[in-house]
Structure 1
């Protein structure tokens, strides 16, 4: 009996994952408004009633897609720079703070390159003024978490006085996401003039742009 229950639990988890993968693909392709549960059911190979059973409704399914993306990003971030995120000396140490900025941008860049669907979903939300994002119960907390760190760094003179600490994480995210969305176009333009633009070089340029734009020049 225990083995049978374990098998049912495993199958349910796998089924949810398949449905989420299908939903993620269609939300990325069409946006929340145009994606249809019928199409998600067909893509996943499961019927609508099972989707409603697991996720209640379309918004519940969308919420789980956003939640999964955020939790995956968080797990990668904490695995790679967990020590810096918990180091209380970072906001008062220019070397550590610069290193944190470099790693945050590099990890965000790589994550978006490797998970383009998440970036497309975010782009759809931006185009629709985040009307669906603001309805979901799950709230990614990356911005407020980094704001506290940036605010402390500014108070310690590491961030320039004319930089708004609250806007810093937003500007960092937008610098990375906007560039990646434009990368194919820029890459083609650079190749036309004989200047290849590999991803690594692009990432390094964004890191420099942010660091030299927000940190106190005397500390660089």
Structure 2
């Protein structure tokens, strides 16, 4: 085989491996979302992906290893999506001293995190399973998403400059910020039971939902004098 042919073979092999891993992760994400970690079975993931169990074990070692990669992929995708929107603002030195910028920052986080969960309902289901099982699997995985530490640093600076409510402990900043987004997104589906249904494909409905949740979160976190 000549050098060009060898290079083509290696490229094809690499591409195939990448595509195979993505197919397995897509299938795993679907199964974990529908059944939760405890009830998910590698057999089901293998059938859904179209690849055998031995290959899954070869790539990910075991079920917790596979779950770790699913969580990692979701977290990194979310970081990229949000980073594209607020990355530049996050690097602004005056973010935690300028009320207008800080308010806009919170508004953007809420709106785009909410949209991200609507666009990726499997992630929302995985989070719901974790919450129901007291995050016991989440705390076992080697990859540990940690937005809390980052947001805590921002919250402390904003509190020092008087942008946050005086009675708000910065420790709860990220909890209140993201939990309102998560549970609002989940509750949209719950409303169907009561006969109220918001079409998530309807742009006007979703813009109204984003406006409502963003206004609620910003008003709850920021010092009223800066609203």
Instruction: Name the TM-score, length of structure 1 as normaliser.
Output: 0.95
Match of 1:13 in 2: 18
Match of 2:3 in 1: none
Residue 199 of structure 1 and its aligned partner are, at CA, apart by: 2.0
Closer/same/farther in 2, CA of residues 188 and 128 from structure 1, 3 Å limit: closer
The separation in 2 between residues aligned to 1:187 and 1:198, in whole angstroms, is 15
After superposition, the C-alpha distances for 1:60-80 in whole angstroms (9 at most, x for unaligned) are 000000000000000011111
Instruction: Name the TM-score, length of structure 2 as normaliser.
Output: 0.92
Which one of the candidate residues 57, 77, 90 is aligned to 2:95?
Answer: 90
The separation in 2 between residues aligned to 1:140 and 1:156, in whole angstroms, is 28
| Structure 2, unaligned runs of 5 or more | 1-5
Which one of the candidate residues 139, 150, 157 is aligned to 1:152?
Answer: 157
Match of 1:59 in 2: 64
Closer/same/farther in 2, CA of residues 199 and 190 from structure 1, 3 Å limit: farther
Is 1:162 the counterpart of 2:167? The answer is yes
After superposition, the C-alpha distances for 1:125-165 in whole angstroms (9 at most, x for unaligned) are 00000110000010112121111011100011000111111
After superposition, the C-alpha distances for 1:60-116 in whole angstroms (9 at most, x for unaligned) are 000000000000000011111111111121011101100000000001100000000
Other structure's SS at 2:170 match: coil
Match of 2:137 in 1: 132
Which one of the candidate residues 64, 67, 76 is aligned to 2:81?
Answer: 76
Which one of the candidate residues 44, 47, 51 is aligned to 2:52?
Answer: 47
Residue 184 of structure 1 and its aligned partner are, at CA, apart by: 2.8
Residue 187 of structure 1 and its aligned partner are, at CA, apart by: 5.9
The separation in 2 between residues aligned to 1:190 and 1:98, in whole angstroms, is 34
Q: Cα RMSD (Å) of the superposition? A: 1.6
After the TM superposition, list the runs of 4 or more consecutive aligned residues in structure 1 that deviate by more than 4 angstroms.
187-192
Is 1:143 the counterpart of 2:142? The answer is no
Residue 38 of structure 1 and its aligned partner are, at CA, apart by: 0.5
Match of 1:107 in 2: 112
My pick for the range that moved more, 180-189 or 68-77, is 180-189
- The count of aligned residue pairs is 217
The separation in 1 between residues aligned to 2:217 and 2:160, in whole angstroms, is 19
Match of 1:206 in 2: 213
Closer/same/farther in 2, CA of residues 21 and 213 from structure 1, 3 Å limit: same
